[in-house]
Structure 1
Amino acid sequence: MGRIVIVPFLLSMALGPLLSMSSTAQAEDLGAWRVLTAEEEKIRVGETPSSEADPSMIEADFDGDGRKDKALIAIRKPDDVLGLIVLLKSRPQIFVLSEHNRSGLDVDQSGLPHSGLSVAEPGAWQPNCYDDECFKRPPKKRILKNPGILFYDGPNTVLYFWEPRTKSFGGSLMVH
């Protein structure tokens, strides 16, 4: 007698939006998080022509498992905090990013108007120094074996990279 398989169907219904998200999917559900609305995307891009703006979603094999993963700028629903979500095939990783965005999305105070993502190619990455303290104790150079994520948040740039030993992402402030 044939079996009816309900659980995989229900799981695919629940996880489908996470696994099939595209850059144009503005209404996708990410649990406690959501993708940027069209209005927020306009704020994020500002006066920059959309063809020249850093994207709010990128794809690459961040964890080195041979499968493409997705990273996207997202908003936490309860309090509108800006975050970065990385959808690995094994499990999502979530980073709360904007320290000054704790009481709701405000155009004047949010990192949203100057945020974006890009793929950091494998290889050596050296943080930039702009003050005496940094020159005295230069930050550690990072060698990426897999693509990383460069997150631009106003004047700051953070490099997120996969650490196989801990099976999680590490981060390094590249520009501040």
Structure 2
Amino acid sequence: MASGLFMFSRASAVGIGLGLGVSFSLLHSSPFRAAPMRCDYAAGSTSSGWSLPSQDPTRKHGIAQESGIMTASNMRQISMGSVLGLVVGVGLRAFSRVLVVLLGMGIVAIEWAASKGYHIFPTKTLQKYVKSVDLDRFMSRNVPFKVTFGTTMALAAFAQF
């Protein structure tokens, strides 16, 4: 009886493996399959191959123009904010998960309100006590960093390692 079950499971394993192999091989050559995504970069005709020539019209004042949301500076801020938010969130989670969620959501809420024109954070009052830092400039710069930091910090409270 046990040998009959063993033979059945071996035959099933061979059949399943053969079926998956054939279906994946047909999937690879299917006419409905999209072309593979290529991650090539075709550099322009420059001397070094890695930089834009100084006469290029896309350069402005020595720096290549960036437009839209997906700029190098924003991507740098988003990645750094998410990494630091995770580290700080996991570190503070040892004390209190509620604290981490409230701090993270508070950062995001303050930034959202500031984008709508409401200034919740009393920068004028605190500027009297802090002389070495311009708080108005501090609150208005690096918004992508602060938003991703707060979001990832709030989400880190629910992480399970």
- Shared fold by TM > 0.5? no
Q: Relative contact order (C-alpha < 8 Å, sep 6+): which is higher?
A: 2
Taking structure 2 as the reference length, the TM-score comes to: 0.25
Structure that is richer in helix per residue: 2
Larger radius of gyration: 2
Instruction: Give TM-score, length-normalised by structure 1.
Output: 0.24
